Amino acid sequence: MDKQERNEKLELYGSGFSLLKVALAEVPVEAMKFKPEPTEWSVHEIIIHIADSESNAALRARKLIVEPGSMLVGYDQDKWAIELNYHDQDLEDALETTRLVRKTTYELLKKQPEEVFTHAVIHPERAEPFTFERWLQIYSGHIPGHIEQIRENVKKYKVNR
């Protein structure tokens, strides 16, 4: 990934929360806890997942900056959703967590010297090193990917009402 592409991904990462807020404005309140299938997440669960994932992503970014070569901690997102009972968690708190984590991580990344983006860490679920490039690919697309999932949930909700 060259510097221009990295900067584009970084800007997409930085705009993630704003994109999420725009998408959520289109979700009817009564559709927030609708589950398209028993094993699929509701919009509410997606938002709580995003907050948890973003918190993990922020830690991973900091490990990449400060401790290249170190080991990341993995987590089972589906187990988290069940065991942490995502429907009982506060949506506004999750959104505020996401906003702050994205903002602070984005600001931190913009200030990093070029060589930081060559760092890699060990991911327990991957055979190859987990590079900063890989981190940026995943997390710049994380919220946009879930926005599509949210829109699909709303479509299915409207069909099933």
Predicted confidence (pLDDT) per residue in 7-29, tens digit: 999 999 999 999 999 999 999 99
pTM value surpassing 0.75 = yes
State how many domains the chain has: 1
Convert the pLDDT of each residue in 102-126 to its tens digit.
999 999 999 999 999 999 999 998 8
- Where in the sequence is the domain holding 33, given as residue range(s)? 3-160
**Please, are residues 6 and 129 in contact by the beta-carbon 8 Å criterion?**
no
Q: How far is CA 43 from CA 33, 61, 82, 89, in A?
A: 6, 26, 15, 13
Nearest to 134 by CA among 71, 66, 53, 57: 57
Partners of 120 in the β-ladder: 131
- Residue 86, Cβ density class (10 Å: 0-12 exposed, 13-18 middle, ≥19 buried): buried
pLDDT at site 61:
97
Supply the CATH number for residue 50's domain: 1.20.120.450
Nearest to 45 by CA among 17, 13, 83: 83
